[in-house]
Structures are given as C-alpha cells and as structure tokens.
Chains A and B, each alone.
Chain A
Amino acid sequence: MHAMQAKLSAFNGCGHLLIIATFALAGSAAHAAAAAAKPDASPNEDAFPNYESYIKISGQAAAISGDGAAFQNRLRQPENGGAGIEDLHFNKIISRRTAVTLDGRALTGAENYLGHFNVSKSEVGSVDAGYKRFRTFYDGVGGFFPLSKAWFPLKPQDLHVDRGQFWAEATLALKDAPEFKLRYTNETRGGRKDSTHWGDTDFTDLPNNNPPISQVRKLIPSYIQLGERYETLEGTMRKTFGRTTAHLTVLAERTHKLDTRFVTRFPGEVRPFPSPAATVLLPPAQMNNQVQLTQTDGMNTKMFGIVGTTLTELSKHVTLRTDLSYHLVNTDFGGDRTTLTSIATPTGVVIVPTGEFLGLNGGSRAKVYEGKIDLAMTPAKDVSVNLGLRGEDSYARGAGAFSVVAASGTPAVTLATTPRLEASRVKDQSLSPAIDVRYTGFTDLALYASGSWRILNGDDRTTSAYNPITSPVPALSNLFNNDTSENRGHYSVGANWRQSMAVTLRGELFYKDHLNKSVGYSTNLGDNYALGYQFTGIKTTAICRPHPTVTSTLRYVYQLGRMQVTGFLPDFSRYDSMNLKNHTIDETIDWNPQNGFYLQASANVVFNVISTVYPRAGITPASISNTGVANAAFDTNKVLQNSDNNYFNGSMLVGAVLTKADDLQLQGTYYRADNGSANRAAFTMPFGVVVREYSLAAGVKHKFASGWLGTIKVGYFHSQNDTTGGFTNFRGPLAYFAFEHAL
C-alpha cells in the first residue's frame, strides 16, 4: 500500500518539472486536509511498485502565446521546454555495514542538475559529496503607466540566475570515540536578473510645467549582473563525557561578490540648449537628459568562527545547554558608479561621463561574541519549563575612500574630480532572556505560553562622505554620534485541544512590542528618533471530520499592527506612522469516499492593508516651489494611498484509480488579485497589483510492467496581468511526460 502512496506523491509533484511549477501553482499540489486519522489500512494488492533504485526520464513542452519571459518567471520553467533525467536513485548494500547511494538529475532547459554520492559504514563514518544547480528565470518588467500606456521592455530579455552548490563532507564516527566531521561547501550565484531600481521617463502624457504635479514617472526596467561565491569550511568534533555531550566547531567562510547594476534614466531624452524656462511646455523628448548609470559593487569577506556547545543531563528532569561563540569578519570592498549623461551643447549633444563614486576602496572589520545558557526542566509530570538567556557583544567598524567626478557649467560639461572619505563604528551589547512553559495535565489538551525579550544598548558613530581637501576634518554636519537602544518583547499563549476524534481546535494569541531609539549626543547633530511598533493577533485552526470520509481544516489568522515615530526628540510627541490589518482565511477540504478516489479543494482569502499617515497628509501649503513656478496648494492625499495586498487563491485536485494499471489526476487552480489604482495615475505611480490566472491539467500514470511506469500530463495556463497593462499576459497549453524504470 505504501508504494501507491509514494507514487501518487511523485505523480502529484513530478519532481522539479512542469507539473509542480505549472499545475501546483496557486496551491493545487496535492495536500492533506488534517492531522486526523485517515483510512489507511486498506486493500492495496494492485499498488504501483516502489523502486529502491530507479531512473526517471522526463520531458516537457509548452506552446505559449504572449510574453515568454513572464511565462518563465511565473512557471519557473523555460519557454522552449526541456528534457532529461528528472530523478536517478541508486542504492546498494555493499556489505552488512556498508551502503552506497547515488542520486542524480540532469534537466536541460531548466538547467537543473544534481550529482550526489554517499557511502556510509555503520560505526565508522560516511563520505558525502555532490553538486547541485538550478536556474531561476526573471521577466525584466518595469512599470506600466496607464495615462500614456507607457511600457518599456527590457533589453536584454534573457534574464536568469543560476545557483550552484558543491559540497563534500566526511564523518568519522567510531564506536566509543569522539565523532569528527569536516565539511566544505562552495556556493555560487551568477547570471542576470531584473532590478526594481526603475529608471525615469517623461513619456507620461503629463505636462512639465504644471507643478507641483510631476510629469516624471520611474518605470524604466533595469537589471543587475551577478557574480557571487560563498565558501565555507567547517570542522566539528562531538564527544560525550558522562552526562555531557560537547560540540566544538571551527569554521571559516569566504565570500566574493562582484555585482553590476545597469539603469537607464530618461531614455531617448535630451534637454535643448539653452535650457528653456521651467514655464515652457516641452515635448517629452526634451524634458530631461538621458543618463546611463552603471554601478559595480565588489566585496570580499573572510570570516573565522569558533562555536562550543555542551548539553548536560543534570537529572532526569533538568537539562542544561550552554553555547559560546566568537566570530571575526574582515571585509574589503570596492566599486564604481558611473553615469553617462547626454547633454546638449551649442555644437551638438555630447556624452558627459561623471561618477558619483569612483575607485571606491575600503574595508570593514566586525567581531561578535555570543553566549547562551538554556535550562529545560520538567518540575512536574505535566509541566515543562524552558529558561534561556543569550548575550551578545558586537563591534564593527568600516572606512572607505572614493572620488567624485561632477560636471559643472552651462552646459554642464566641465568635469572636476574631488576625493571623499567616510567611516563608521558600531558597538552593540544585548541580552535576550526567554521563557517557555507547557502544560499537558488535561487529557487531550495542551497549553503553552512563551515570552522572549531583547534589551540592547549601543553606540553608533558615522562620518558621512566629506572632502578632505576642502575640509581636513569632517564638519559637524558629517558626524553622527548616537546612543542606540532596543527594547523588544514577544509573547504568545496557545492551546491544542482534541475535543474528539472528529474535532481538533488550536489557537494562539501573540503580541510583539518593539521600541528602538537613536539619540544624538556630543557636539554633532546626531540623530533623534524613536520607533515603536506593536503587532498583535490570533491564529486559529479547526480540524473537523464530520464524516469518516471528509476532513475539513479551517485556519484564520488575524493581525493588527501599529507603528509610532517620534522625531527630533524631545520637541515632539510621538504619533502613529502605520496601521496594518490582515485577515487570512484558509480552508482545505479532503474527501476520500473510497480507496480509489480522493478529492481535495483548498482556498486562501487574504485581506491585507498597510496604511501610513501619508494618505491623510492633508493640503500642502501653496508656498512650495520646486521649479521656479509658484505652486498652488496641493492635495497631498492623492499622492500615495493605502497599500492593499488582497488576493484569492483556489485549487481543486482529484485523484482516481482508472484501471489496475492506470491512475488519473485532475487539477485546477485560480488566482486573483484586484488592487488596482490606475485612476490615480495623474498624481502618482499606480502600483496596485491586478492579476487573474487559472490553470487546468489532467494526467494519467500508467504501469507498463513491473519495472516500468509512465506518466503523461497535459494542461493549460492563462495569465492576465493588468498591472503591466497586459504586456506580460500569456496563455497556452503545456505537456509533460515521464518514464520511470527500476534499476
């Protein structure tokens, strides 16, 4: 019987291929309904086989019309399809104590690869090594502006990032001897992905001479080139002394990052020479100057750390755990931010190369000491108490130097280079106590309560970039000395009540309270700022089984959040800066009327709104002028509205036995978000997400012979995205096949 289950699970998931990516979207993957007991001890003589060693070959294809990049991003699959080894597993018992395992995967198109080798011998140890890699696709979208129907596709369109990891681990675990483990990992992240640092455009059909309404909107897509590596080497020893088990870990990490971001601002625009007055109505192509911006950020870090842990069973009812650690991080960083600005001159348009920072060169050093003690107690049969205290002392300092190349003159084509210096130093000390109490004295009822706190005091000093030639010592306006503090509390109480075999109820109340302060001191301007916030809410779950074949799981989460800001202490009192309300309602129904059939339906409904003070900001006085033109009073409330994040997800899954050799599965999904705000485009950048999607799929799994299984699945996906003005819509059929063979 278990074999059938395993195969159905694979059938539902189909590894990493189209089936999960496409047909499991919006929660359509097979899922269980509840923790209540299921009809499991059922006849299963015709079950599909469950191979200990096997190879699974699969392929997929799609015939998508519309935006292929959006399809790849949404479905996490290549538009052009792919094929290969979806899953390879080989397991062999070499001897009574030794086993070898091989795993593999090689999917072209999705560029999803795995090679994994493990050999283990009981009471001796193991060797484990492998490499895995997968690809993430990006669509490169920017913003859509409904007034002018402006939409700018990103070039290049082929955006993807490959993540890879190589690892090798050796464990020596001889009987009655300390256990040693050595592990090396090398993780890489490379490729090209889109960025949300969208550039500007004036092609909005809005006039340039109507302040305070700006005609500029930032919706030009941009991208970033990634080249990152992260290596770790970790050695661990574990030894048991009497009632104490101790771990000692020594680790070293090395990271290398060289990322470059490419942004275009005001593409296709050049302001005429001489520059017209601000009151003159200009065509969009003359409102601003095109700027090609390239920023390179490089960073190399080396980290050394040592961690010691002990776990001691002081008595049958008391366990003590202690942790100590030390980490040292050294960093070198560098980079450039160059801008190529198109500027009109009396003799024509010239490209003026400037740099907001060039030749950035610096480093930082951070040290962190941590200690923790945990006491787990069971003072009575049904009571357990955990007490914990964690302390941390951290120190970090950094400094850098770079050059600024700025243009001046009329037109601004005369370049001048000036140096800059900068520095910072941060010291923090924190204590984090915690308590967790559980009571199980009532039959079928578990009660718990927990609280944790964090008290932090720190001293931050920063020196913002200054010119050491014109100002040999930084001016007061460059210095920020701040006493910082944090007071945080997290609390929760909850219960799990199995009212009967048919009804289980769970609930939890939670509350978070943070207050962070930053207060300037000494002779500088410093900072004067306090931020408080409180989040409170409830999570409830009801698992009901009204009939032996039906299980319903209903979950409701309510969260209320508030933030308060106090600025320029102590002159002003604090006031609310944010309100958050969230209702999440989730339901899953599972129906198993007989052994050869199941139906599952699920839905998620979310009402989420984040509101800052801004939508209630009121009228901005008429005195403001930013272009030389007298501004009228302006209704600020129009600029920014609440951030609504509502959506609905629904899915249905049906599984059935068709014949002794065939299983059928049907799936359907639906996703909708309707938070449109396009009608406010004249005053803001409308970001409201408006999307409708659905998918349908049908698949059959067939047993050809005892050692051969096959799966075929076809489906259809439809995505309509009004957030992007429909420019990223796509739809079309998809197909998937797989053959699995026992080895």
Chain B
Amino acid sequence: MLIFGGATVWGLLLISCVVANRTVLAPPFVAGAEFVGTKKCAECHADKAANFASASHNRLALSAAGVGNTGCEGCHGQGSLHAESGGARGTIINPRRSPETCFQCHLDKRGQFSLPNSHPVLAGQVSCADCHDVHQGNAIRDTGTAFVNTNATCTRCHVAQKGPFVFEHAAMKEGCTICHNPHGTINQRMLVARDGNLCLRCHLERSAPGTSGQINANAIRHTAENHNTRLMQGMCWSAGCHEAPHGSNANNHFRR
C-alpha cells in the first residue's frame, strides 16, 4: 500500500513538472501574488485596520513585520494582485469562506472541527469569524473587558439556552465553555466529558454534617440521597434526572 501510494505520488510529481505552466499551491496562499504590507491594505480597508492594534492577533506583530508575516496578509494571503486589480474577486483569501487561514496556526482546531461532534465549520455553514473578532479587541468576544455578556457568542444562535430562567444554573455564569468545547469533542453535544464526571467536577463535596463524611456519591451536593445508583444508570442529565442543565422555569434542581 505504501509502495503503491509512494509510486503514485512520485508519478504525479513527474507528470506535473512537464505538462503545464501554472502554479498550484495549498490554500491560503495566493499564487502569483506578493506581499505589499499592511499599510497598502489600509488604504481601502481603513475600517478594519483602524482598530487592529487592539486585536489579540496583533500581539504577534513584529516591529519589522514588513511583509505580511503577521499583518493583514498573514491571514488573507499575499495582496499584490488584489491591490492591483482594485479588489477583484478571487485575488485574496477570505477566511469567512474557508477556515484554512485560521488552521495555519490553530492546527488543533482543525482536528477538533473534524470530529463527529463539532460545529459545521468544515462544511462551510459556520465560519471562525462568526464567533471570533479578529480585527479588534479580544478574539474571544466575551472575555476580559469585552463589551458583551458572557455566553453572548453562543446564545446568539442558541436562543433556547439564553433564558432568563426563574432558576439559573450557576454554571452559566462560568460560561458555556465550562461544559462544551465549541470547536468539537468526541462526545455528544460537544461536551468536554461524556458522563457524570462532567457535573461532578463541581458537584461533589464532603457530605452534610452528621453523615459519614465520605467523599463519594452520597456527598453529591445538597442531598442525602445515595446517588451511586443514579450514576450507575446513566448521565446526570438523563430522563427523570436533571434534565434542564441550562436553567429551569419549573424546578430549582433543574429536574425539568
């Protein structure tokens, strides 16, 4: 198999060097173009360039960046053809149409988006820029002093989880990402853990005074009920258990 595959590759290599006079490059590079520098980009895209100094990605900018290594062209590809043509279609990389630009550096995200449980970025239905601000401020929108609420990035699409609920799950204050990895995981619903461990990270504590004090399922938060059986049966959010982990309008234990 390896020999056959290797022969195929070498065969293609030989063919490709003689039959045509054109360049093929893996995206996100623009064949035939050269770097022109960020200042050139700003001539037309002043709105994007104006606040880039505050962008997370600007932290990598070198004083002698010169060519596009860490400027606009680091993500959009070489810009000379785009500039010369006055912005012709196909002369520049648009990361909204392909995540390849982002995967240049975020190799791990390529792997996560390839998992069965992931947002459909590779299918083109969602783009990295739908959730991340790359031209200004924090790339992760709802962190630091960003002017949006925690979870606003997620609840913009996942309206049902937005609430407000009569009984809010405190975990929502930590953010959706405390339980979900939005880039993808091997678990259903992009959960970071597949079973009761997801909840027990926070909900396992020494039991109430007067009980054995043992650190086990008897000590699941604020109940004297033995949860060994519950955990044996399935997930904490299974039917009949805590079915409303995002918040509930009917039960303060998120049972329904």
Pair A44/B23 contact, Cβ less than 8 Å = yes
Partner of B89, one of A31, A52, A486, A568: A52
| CB closest residue in chain A, given B69 | A35
Q: A496 an interface residue at 8 Å Cβ cutoff?
A: yes
| CB closest residue in chain A, given B34 | A41
Pair A529/B88 contact, Cβ less than 8 Å = no
Q: A181 an interface residue at 8 Å Cβ cutoff?
A: no
Q: Chain B contacts of A331 at CB under 8 A?
A: 163-164
Q: Chain A contacts of B19 at CB under 8 A?
A: 596, 657-660
Pair B22/A673 contact, Cβ less than 8 Å = no
Using A212-B228, A440-B62, A620-B228 as known contacts, say yes or no to A462 and B167 having CB atoms under 8 A apart. yes
Q: A578 an interface residue at 8 Å Cβ cutoff?
A: yes
Against A, the Cβ 8 Å flags (1 = close, 0 = not) of B200-236 are 1111111111001111111101100010110111110
Bound CA span A669–B125, Å: 21
Q: Chain B contacts of A360 at CB under 8 A?
A: 249-250
Q: B173 an interface residue at 8 Å Cβ cutoff?
A: yes
| CB closest residue in chain A, given B160 | A257
Bound CA span A356–B250, Å: 9
| CB closest residue in chain A, given B206 | A572
Q: How far is the CB of A217 from chain B (nearest CB, A)?
A: 6
Bound CA span A192–B146, Å: 35
10 A-B pairs (CB sep. < 8 Å) = A217-B233, A356-B256, A390-B147, A424-B166, A464-B167, A567-B205, A578-B202, A584-B111, A592-B25, A685-B234
Using A136-B120, A610-B197 as known contacts, say yes or no to A598 and B249 having CB atoms under 8 A apart. no
Against B, the Cβ 8 Å flags (1 = close, 0 = not) of A670-701 are 01010100000001110111010000000000
**Interface of chain B, main secondary structure:** loop
Pair B90/A2 contact, Cβ less than 8 Å = yes
Bound CA span A566–B204, Å: 9
Pair B209/A496 contact, Cβ less than 8 Å = no
Using A52-B88, A374-B145, A518-B170 as known contacts, say yes or no to A27 and B114 having CB atoms under 8 A apart. yes
Of A50, A465, A498, A614, most buried by chain B (CB within 10 Å of CB) is: A614
Pair B205/A565 contact, Cβ less than 8 Å = yes
Q: A120 an interface residue at 8 Å Cβ cutoff?
A: no
Residues from 484 to 515 in A contacting B, C-beta threshold 8 Å: 486, 490, 494, 496, 498, 504, 506, 514
Q: Chain B contacts of A620 at CB under 8 A?
A: 214, 216-218, 226, 228
Q: B37 an interface residue at 8 Å Cβ cutoff?
A: no
Bound CA span A251–B228, Å: 49
Q: Chain A contacts of B234 at CB under 8 A?
A: 143, 198, 200, 217-219, 685
Q: A647 an interface residue at 8 Å Cβ cutoff?
A: yes
Using A27-B111, A613-B200, A655-B26 as known contacts, say yes or no to A218 and B239 having CB atoms under 8 A apart. yes
Q: A516 an interface residue at 8 Å Cβ cutoff?
A: yes
Bound CA span A197–B222, Å: 23
Of B64, B123, B197, B209, most buried by chain A (CB within 10 Å of CB) is: B123
Partner of A598, one of B24, B32, B116: B24
Pair B54/A386 contact, Cβ less than 8 Å = yes
| CB closest residue in chain B, given A232 | B156
Q: B3 an interface residue at 8 Å Cβ cutoff?
A: no
Partner of B105, one of A24, A35, A263: A35
Q: Chain B contacts of A52 at CB under 8 A?
A: 88-89
Q: Chain B contacts of A302 at CB under 8 A?
A: none
Q: A222 an interface residue at 8 Å Cβ cutoff?
A: yes
Using A614-B197, A636-B216, A647-B115 as known contacts, say yes or no to A40 and B164 having CB atoms under 8 A apart. no
Q: Chain B contacts of A187 at CB under 8 A?
A: 157
Residues from 220 to 273 in A contacting B, C-beta threshold 8 Å: 220, 222, 226, 228, 230, 255, 257, 259, 261, 263, 265
Q: A354 an interface residue at 8 Å Cβ cutoff?
A: no
Partner of A590, one of B26, B123, B145, B240: B26
Bound CA span A115–B48, Å: 26
Bound CA span A74–B24, Å: 30
Q: A20 an interface residue at 8 Å Cβ cutoff?
A: yes
Partner of B185, one of A226, A617, A645: A645
- Interface contact tally, CB-CB below 8 A: 562
Bound CA span A5–B174, Å: 43
| CB closest residue in chain B, given A595 | B23
Bound CA span A654–B111, Å: 19
Partner of A643, one of B99, B165, B194, B209: B194
Q: A6 an interface residue at 8 Å Cβ cutoff?
A: yes
Against B, the Cβ 8 Å flags (1 = close, 0 = not) of A388-424 are 1110000010111010000000000000000000111
Q: Chain A contacts of B198 at CB under 8 A?
A: 610, 643
Against A, the Cβ 8 Å flags (1 = close, 0 = not) of B125-149 are 1000000000000000001111101
Partner of A448, one of B59, B81, B185, B192: B59
Pair A587/B31 contact, Cβ less than 8 Å = no
Pair B166/A398 contact, Cβ less than 8 Å = yes
Q: Chain B contacts of A374 at CB under 8 A?
A: 54, 145
Q: B53 an interface residue at 8 Å Cβ cutoff?
A: yes
Q: A611 an interface residue at 8 Å Cβ cutoff?
A: yes
Pair B26/A446 contact, Cβ less than 8 Å = no
Pair B147/A323 contact, Cβ less than 8 Å = yes
Partner of B215, one of A200, A222, A514, A575: A575
Q: Chain A contacts of B105 at CB under 8 A?
A: 35, 506, 541, 553, 555
Q: How far is the CB of A580 from chain B (nearest CB, A)?
A: 8
Task: State the interface size on chain A (CB cutoff 8 A).
Answer: 222
Pair A610/B192 contact, Cβ less than 8 Å = yes
Given contacts A433-B145, A553-B105, A657-B15, 18 further A-B contacts (CB under 8 A): A2-B91, A9-B27, A9-B100, A20-B124, A32-B29, A32-B104, A33-B26, A230-B159, A357-B250, A376-B54, A422-B252, A424-B168, A443-B64, A446-B59, A600-B26, A618-B214, A649-B111, A684-B231
Binding site for A on B (CB under 8 A): 8-9, 12-13, 15-17, 19-35, 53-54, 58-64, 67, 69-70, 74, 77-78, 81, 88-91, 93, 97-101, 103-108, 110-116, 120, 122-125, 143-147, 149, 157, 159-160, 162-168, 170, 173-174, 185-189, 192-198, 200-209, 212-219, 221-222, 226, 228-229, 231-235, 237-241, 243, 249-252, 255-256
Partner of A1, one of B32, B162, B202: B32
Bound CA span A490–B101, Å: 27
Bound CA span A620–B21, Å: 75
Pair A529/B249 contact, Cβ less than 8 Å = no
Bound CA span A230–B156, Å: 9
| CB closest residue in chain A, given B244 | A297
Q: Chain A contacts of B226 at CB under 8 A?
A: 212, 620, 624, 626
Against B, the Cβ 8 Å flags (1 = close, 0 = not) of A638-666 are 01101101010101011111111001101
| CB closest residue in chain A, given B220 | A614
Pair B206/A575 contact, Cβ less than 8 Å = yes
Of A40, A464, A563, A645, most buried by chain B (CB within 10 Å of CB) is: A40
Pair A333/B249 contact, Cβ less than 8 Å = yes
User: 4 nearest interchain CB pairs?
Assistant: A1-B32, A604-B111, A218-B234, A567-B205
Pair A657/B16 contact, Cβ less than 8 Å = yes
Q: Chain A contacts of B59 at CB under 8 A?
A: 436, 438, 446, 448, 450, 494, 496
Q: Chain B contacts of A47 at CB under 8 A?
A: 22-23, 31-32
Q: How far is the CB of B220 from chain A (nearest CB, A)?
A: 9
Using A1-B23, A331-B164 as known contacts, say yes or no to A35 and B70 having CB atoms under 8 A apart. yes
Q: Chain A contacts of B228 at CB under 8 A?
A: 212, 620, 624, 634, 636, 639
Q: How far is the CB of A637 from chain B (nearest CB, A)?
A: 9
Pair A31/B239 contact, Cβ less than 8 Å = no
Q: At the interface with chain B, which of A10-18, A151-159, A274-282?
A: A10-18
Pair B206/A40 contact, Cβ less than 8 Å = no
Against B, the Cβ 8 Å flags (1 = close, 0 = not) of A16-43 are 1000110011111111111111111111
Partner of B28, one of A24, A32, A432, A599: A32
Q: A134 an interface residue at 8 Å Cβ cutoff?
A: yes
Using A443-B63, A657-B20 as known contacts, say yes or no to A645 and B122 having CB atoms under 8 A apart. no
Using A40-B25, A388-B144 as known contacts, say yes or no to A2 and B16 having CB atoms under 8 A apart. no
